[in-house]
Amino acid sequence: MADDCNNLRIKICGITRLEDGLCALEAGADWLGFIRWPQSRRCQSPDECAGLIRNIRERFHGPFSAVGVYVDADRETVLDEIDRLGLDRLQFHGSEPPDYVNGFKLSVIKVLAVKNAETLAREADQYPGVPILTDIHHPDLRGGTGQGYDYEMLKGLIRKRDVIIAGGLSPENVGKIVADLRPWGVDVSSHIEIDPGIKDHNKIREFISRARSIQKQ
């Protein structure tokens, strides 16, 4: 668990363009998320995504993790794309059971839809030792909604687990959320975009700056 913000993980998700990935990394992001759910407007073909990740690595010489974001994907598809795309981490955003989530060689993140604190804690217990990403519950979408929720309900889980807060985060609210809750990480996509998959570079920089500003307080 993160007991201070010096080790805060910042993930910029829904990367579809070289310039956006480079901007995020140069501004201080740790992880870039690449959507592998075909129903998302931020999803690219495997070849496009592989080329994008390769080009980012060629241009940015510091360390970062490329995170593949999946929703109830076939295990064979994920295994194929780990090497084909050059992924470092996996994020599972669907109804994947614990034995599926734990069956990969890479570090994994399990996304849980926030309904209430009790349900969230009970669902998190099914994935011991796995970092949890919290997002808004939506009947049709899997992230990228831009909708927030009562982040205070995460306090109990953050005390016990590595929690990445997502859903409705923006440059305007991320500093306060990090200061109040001290999560392991934060994740943003839609609130730093001009259109789905097209990032606003000023908002990327502002989000990361404000997320890290608590370190100086």
State which H helix or E strand residue 10 sits in.
strand 9-12
Indicate which residue of 13, 23, 43, 49 is catalytic: 13
89, β-bridge pairs: 67, 107
Identify the CA nearest to 163 among candidates 152, 154, 172.
154
Is the Cβ–Cβ distance between 204 and 186 less than 8 Å? no
Indicate which residue of 30, 135, 162, 187 is catalytic: 135
**Rounded to an integer, what distance in angstroms lies between the CA atom of residue 55 and that of residue 67?**
15
State which H helix or E strand residue 68 sits in.
strand 65-70
**Coil, helix or strand for 128?**
coil
**Rounded to an integer, what distance in angstroms lies between the CA atom of residue 115 and that of residue 40?**
22
Is 150 an annotated catalytic residue? Answer: no
C-alpha separations of 36 from 7, 48, 89, 157, 178 in Å: 27, 11, 13, 27, 28
What are φ and ψ of residue 185, in 5° steps?
Answer: -160, 170
Is 80 an annotated catalytic residue? Answer: no
Residue type at 136 in one-letter notation: I
Residues acting as catalytic residues: 13, 135
